[in-house]
Amino acid sequence: MFLTASVGVAARAPRRTSPGSLLRDADTALYQAKARGPGSWSIFAPRMRMTVLRRLERETALHGAAERGELRVRYQPQVELATGRVVGAEALTRWEHPADGLLLPAEFIRLAEATGLIVPLGRWVLAEACRQARTWSNASPQNSPLVCANVSVRQLREPGFVAEVVEALEGAGLHPDCLELEITESAVMQAVPEVRHALRDLSRLGVALAIDDFGMGFSSLARLRDLSVNGLKVDRAFVAGLGRDPGNLAIVRAVTALAHDIGLEVTAEGVETAEQARMLRELGVDRAQGYHFARPLAGEAVGDLLARDARLPEGAGPEGGVKRDRAREMAVGKGKRDRPHAGAVHAARRVRRATRSAARGALSVAAE
Ligand code: C2E
Ligand code: MG
Ligand code: MG
C-alpha cells in the first residue's frame, strides 16, 4: 500500500472567525494543497477562495468533456535523428473549453490527475491515438509510425488498464508494435506492485514503454532495466543546456551511452535549434522531437508528412499546421526512390527489441 497525506492549514483571525468558517478555510487550503499533487501542504490565504472556485468550475466542466467533443489530440512528430524521417508522433491533449478557449495540458492535466478524471480522459486519448495511427498506416502503409501516448500513474494503477490498452488497439485494428506508452519518471519511481505488473503485462503484449522527462527524478538506469522499459526521453531541460553548459553535455552523453548499453532507445525532447540537433546526432541519440522539427500538429498534417516521406526540419509553422516548402517537397519526392523501405523501420524496431531482451538477459546474469 502507498499512502500520502495532504494538509490544509488555516489560522483563526482574532474575534472574526467562527469555527465553521475556520474549517471551511482549512478545507480550501487543503483543496489547494491537493491540486499541487500528493503529499503537499498549503496555508490558507483569502485569494485562495477565488482559485478554488475556478478550479471547481473547471473540474465540473472537465466531467464529460470527451463526450461533448471538447477534447482534441495534437501529434508532435518524432524524427529519426540520423535521417530526419518521421518515425513516430507523440499524442498531446488539448481541451477546447467552451468559455476559456483552447487549453494546454498545464491547465487541466494535474486537475484531471488529482480528481481521477485522468482515467476516462486517458482512455479516450489512447483510443483516439490508436485510431489516428491506424489511419496513418492505412494511408501510408510503407511509412507507418509509432504513436506515443502519455499515461498517468493513476491509469497504470487501475486494475483494468492493460485490458483498456488491448481494447484500444483492437478497436483500431492497430498492432501493439505501433504503440508506445510514456510514463513519467516519478511514476516509475513509485513502482508499486500494481504499476510493476501493468508494465510487465504491457511489455509482454508488445507495447513499447518509455520514461518521459528522464533526468529530473533521479531514477537509476539499473532500475529501469528491471521494469520492462524500452526507452527513455531525455528531459528538455538537459537539451536546452546543450552547448551552454558542459555539464549537460556530459550528462546527455553518459545517459545515452548507458541507455544504449542496456538496450534502451533514447529520444531527446524539446529540441529547438539546429545546433542542439547536431550535438544530439553526434552523441548517438536515436530520436528527437521539438519545435526545431515540428510543433504539435493536427493528425492530418502528420499524415501529410508521412505520405510525402518528409525529412524534418522543413520550417516548423504554428501549432496545428505545417509550413510547406515546395522546393524541399520536390527534393523529398526525388529522394523517395532510394530511401529504405519503411518496413525497414519496423524490422529495425523488432531487431532493437531482440537486442534489448538479449542485453537484459546478459545483464541480469551478470548481476546475479
Ligand atoms: P510531455 O509528455 O513531456 O510533452 C512534451 C511537451 O513539450 C508538450 O507540451 C510539447 O508541446 C512541449 N514541447 C515540444 N517541443 C518543445 C520545444 O521544442 N520547446 C518547448 N519549450 N516545449 C516543447 P504540452 O502539449 O503542453 O504537454 C505538456 C505535458 O502534459 C506533456 O509533457 C505530458 O506530460 C502532459 N500531457 C499531455 N497530454 C497528456 C495526456 O493525454 N495524458 C497525460 N497523462 N498527460 C498528458
Ligand atoms: Mg510525453
Ligand atoms: Mg516529456
Residue-wise pLDDT for 214-254, tens only, equals 987 766 777 777 888 999 999 999 999 998 889 999 999 99
Q: What percent of the chain has pLDDT over 90?
A: 64
Verify whether ligand 1 is closer than 6 Å to residue 88 (CB atom): no
Q: Indicate if the pLDDT at residue 329 is higher than 60.
A: no
Q: 30-44, 62-76, 90-104, 294-308: which has the minimum mean pLDDT?
A: 30-44
Helix (H) or strand (E) holding 353: helix 343-367
Q: For Cα atoms 340, 341, 344, give the angle at the middle one, nearest 5 degrees.
A: 90
Cell 523517395, residue? 336
pLDDT at 351: 45
* Cβ–Cβ < 8 Å for 320, 301: yes
* Cβ–Cβ < 8 Å for 248, 242: yes
Q: How far is the CA of 367 from the centre of ligand 1 (A)?
A: 36
pLDDT at 13: 77
Write the pLDDT tens digit of every residue in 83-142.
999 999 999 999 999 999 999 999 999 999 989 999 999 999 999 999 999 999 999 999
| Torsion sign across C-alpha atoms 298, 208, 159, 114 | negative
Cell 492549514, residue? 9
pLDDT at 162: 98
Verify whether ligand 1 is closer than 6 Å to residue 268 (CB atom): no
Verify whether ligand 1 is closer than 6 Å to residue 212 (CB atom): yes
| Torsion sign across C-alpha atoms 312, 315, 316, 317 | negative
Note the pTM of the prediction, 2 decimals.
Answer: 0.83
